[in-house]
C-alpha cells in the first residue's frame, strides 16, 4: 500500500480542522487520530522493511513540479517512535488536562503531527521549510497554553528564536537554488560541490537547526519553554520537537553536505560545552521541571559530538542517544507532572518522601535515569560505548574526558533527585492525590515510555542495520 505517506501527512490536518469546528468532539477525535496515525506509521515502517525505500509524488506530479516524499528505514523508524510517543502523550493529556486547556491543545497536536510527517518524509529542501514552520508554530502555541506570565514569556522567547532560525534556513534554500537550480535532496546529494556558496548555505542550515534544537549557546529559550509549559507539552517539546531538527541536521550532514566543513568541528566542540553547562546547571536546580530542562541542554550535547568524529560508529551513537532520549525524557516529564500535582509544588525539596504515595512513579523515574546515565543494557549505554570507542580510536582525549564527566554529572543530578524522593517525609507535609486525576493511568503511561527506553537497548544491533540514507 504505497499511499500511506499522504495519509500520514494529511490525516492530522483533517482531524485538527474537525476538532476546531466540532469542539465537543475534539478530545475523543484527536485520541482516535493519534492512534490511527501510529497505526499508519507502523504499517509504513513494516512496508519499508520489505521494500527498503518508497517514493511518493504528491497528487501524481513528478518533481520538480510536484512534491516528492521518500520513506526509508531510518526516517520511518524515528517517525514510528515519534507517533507512538505522541499517542501516549495524547492519552496522558486525555486524563490530565483541564477542560479550558483542551480546546486548543488537541487540535494543535494534529498540526504538529502533520509537520512531523512533512519533515521526516520530504525530499525537498523548501518543503522542509514548510514543515519546520508548521512544527514550530504548533509547538510555540502549545507552549503558550500554560496561560500564565511565565509560559507566555517562554513562548515569546521561543517564537523569536524560531523566526530567526527559519530566516537562516530560508536564506540557505535561496543560496542552494541559485547555485544548483534544484530543491530535490536526492538530486543535490549527487551534484553538490564544495564551493563558497554551498559552504555559506550549510552554515545557515547549521545555525537554523542549532537554534531550533537549543544547542549551547543558542539554548536561551529551552529551559523556560520546557519548564513552564503544561506537562504534556513539556514532554512533546523534549521528546519529539527538538529531536526532529536533530535528525535533520544529521540527515543533511551525512546525505548532502558530506564535505569536511570547519563548522561541523565548531558545532562538535560547542556540544562538549553543552554537556558541561547543562549538567552543572541541572545539579544546582531547585525546581523539578527546570532540572529536566537543563538535563536536556546537556543531553543535546551528546547528539552533536558526532561532528567531532564524523564516523559511521559515531552516527550510530548519535541516533541511539536520539531514540533513547525520546522515550526517557517523555517518561521523565510525564512522571514529573504527576509528582508536582501530588506535592502541590514544583520545588525538589518538597518531594521528600513522595515515594511512599507514588512508588510506581519513582520506579519510572529510576528507569529513565539509568537510560540517560547509560547503564547497560539500555540504548544509552550502547551510544556511550560507541562514542568512547571512537574517541579512543581517534585520540580525541578531550571528548573522552567530557563524555565521562557528562555521565558523572547526569548520575549526580538524577540520583540526587531519586534520593530526595526516597527520604522520610516531613511531618508537616501531606501528599494529596486529587480525585479528578486518574493516577493509575497517568503513572502507567509514563512507566511504559521509560521502560521502553531501557528495553530498546536489546535491539541496538537491529537498529544499526537501519541507520543510513
pLDDT in tens, 219-248: 889 988 988 889 999 999 999 999 999 999
Whether pLDDT at 176 is above 70: yes
pLDDT at 237: 93
Residue 274 has pLDDT above 60, yes or no: yes
The C-alpha atoms of residue 338 and residue 71 are separated, in whole angstroms, by 37
Q: Model confidence over 45-64: pLDDT tens digits?
A: 999 988 888 888 876 666 66
Mean pLDDT within 138-158: 87
pTM: 0.92
Secondary structure element (H or E) that encloses residue 55, with its range: strand 53-57
Q: Please tell me the distance from the alpha carbon of residue 185 to that of residue 351, in angstroms, as a whole number.
A: 50
- Mean pLDDT throughout 83-87? 95
Other Cβ atoms within 10 Å of 104 Cβ, number: 17
Place of cell 544529521: 250
User: pLDDT band at residue 65, thresholds of 50, 70 and 90?
Assistant: low
pLDDT band at 20 (very low <50, low <70, confident <90, very high): confident
Whether the pLDDT of residue 256 is over 70: the answer is: yes
Note the pLDDT of residue 335: 94
Q: How far is CA 170 from the centre of its chain?
A: 22
C-alpha cell at 340: 508536582
Band (327; pLDDT cuts 50, 70, 90) = very high
* C-alpha–C-alpha distance, residues 452 and 447, integer Å: 8
> In the chain, what percentage of residues exceed pLDDT 90?
46
Q: What single DSSP character describes residue 426? A: P
Q: What percent of the chain has pLDDT over 70?
A: 95
What pLDDT, on a 0 to 100 scale, did the predictor assign at position 30?
82
Rounded to whole angstroms, the Cα distance separating 237 from 189 reads 30
Question: What is the rounded average pLDDT of the residues 288-307?
Answer: 92
Q: Would you state the pLDDT for residue 463?
A: 84
Least confident of 260-264, 361-365, 408-412, 449-453: 260-264
Mean pLDDT value of segment 149-174: 92
Amino acid at each position: 500500500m504505497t499511499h500511506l505517506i499522504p495519509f500520514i501527512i494529511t490525516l492530522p490536518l483533517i482531524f485538527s480542522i474537525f476538532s476546531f469546528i466540532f469542539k465537543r468532539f475534539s478530545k475523543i477525535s484527536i485520541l482516535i487520530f493519534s492512534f490511527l496515525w501510529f497505526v499508519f506509521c507502523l504499517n509504513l515502517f513494516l512496508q519499508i522493511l520489505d521494500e527498503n525505500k518508497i517514493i511518493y509524488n504528491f497528487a501524481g506530479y513528478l518533481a520538480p513540479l510536484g512534491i516528492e516524499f521518500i520513506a526509508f528505514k531510518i526516517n520511518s523508524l524515528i517517525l514510528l517512535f515519534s507517533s507512538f510517543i505522541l499517542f501516549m502523550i495524547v492519552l496522558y493529556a486525555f486524563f490530565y488536562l483541564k477542560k479550558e486547556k483542551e480546546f486548543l491543545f488537541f487540535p494543535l497536536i494534529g498540526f504538529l503531527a502533520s509537520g512531523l510527517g512533512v519533515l521526516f518524509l520530504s525530499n525537498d529542501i523548501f518543503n522542509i521549510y514548510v514543515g519546520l514552520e508548521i512544527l514550530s508554530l504548533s509547538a510555540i502555541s502549545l507552549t503558550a497554553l500554560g496561560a500564565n506570565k511565565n509560559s507566555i514569556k517562554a513562548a515569546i522567547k521561543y517564537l523569536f528564536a524560531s523566526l530567526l532560525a527559519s530566516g537562516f534556513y530560508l536564506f540557505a534554500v535561496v543560496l542552494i537554488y541559485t547555485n544548483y537550480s534544484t530543491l530535490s535532496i536526492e538530486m543535490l546529494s549527487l551534484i553538490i560541490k564544495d564551493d563558497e556558496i554551498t559552504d555559506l548555505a550549510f552554515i545557515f542550515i547549521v545555525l537554523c537547526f542549532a537554534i531550533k534544537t537549543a544547542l549551547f549557546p543558542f539554548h536561551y529559550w529551552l529551559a523556560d519553554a520546557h519548564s513552564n509549559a503544561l506537562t504534556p507539552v513539556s514532554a512533546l517539546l523534549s521528546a519529539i520537537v527538538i529531536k526532529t531538527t536533530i535528525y535533520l541536521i544529521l540527515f543533511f550532514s551525512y546525505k548532502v553536505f558530506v564535505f569536511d566543513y570547519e563548522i561541523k568541528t565548531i558545532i562538535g566542540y560547542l556540544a562538549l560545552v553543552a554537556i558541561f553547562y547543562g549538567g552543572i546547571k541541572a545539579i544546582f536546580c531547585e525546581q523539578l521541571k527546570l532540572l529536566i530542562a537543563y538535563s536536556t541542554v546537556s543531553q543535546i550535547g551528546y547528539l552533536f559530538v558526532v561532528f567531532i568524529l564524523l564516523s559511521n560508529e559515531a552516527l550510530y551513537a548519535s541516533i541511539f542517544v536520539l531514540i533513547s532520549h525520546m522515550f526517557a525524557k517523555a517518561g521523565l516529564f510525564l512522571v514529573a507532572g504527576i509528582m508536582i500535582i501530588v506535592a502541590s509544588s514544583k520545588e525538589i525539596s518538597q518531594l521528600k518522601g513522595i515515594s511512599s504515595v507514588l512508588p510506581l512513579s519513582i520506579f519510572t523515574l529510576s528507569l529513565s535515569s539509568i537510560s540517560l546515565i547509560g547503564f547497560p543494557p539500555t540504548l544509552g549505554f550502547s551510544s556511550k560505548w560507541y562514542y568512547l570507542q571512537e574517541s579512543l580510536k581517534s585520540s580525541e582525549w578531550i571528548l573522552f574526558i567530557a563524555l565521562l564527566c557528562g555521565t558523572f554529572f547526569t548520575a549526580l543530578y538524577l540520583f540526587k533527585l531519586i534520593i530526595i524522593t526516597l527520604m522520610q517525609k516531613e511531618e508537616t507535609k501531606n501528599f494529596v492525590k486529587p480525585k479528578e486525576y486518574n493516577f493509575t493511568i497517568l503513572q502507567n503511561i509514563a512507566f511504559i515510555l521509560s521502560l521502553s527506553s531501557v528495553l530498546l537497548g536489546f535491539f541496538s544491533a537491529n537498529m544499526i542495520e537501519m541507520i543510513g540514507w
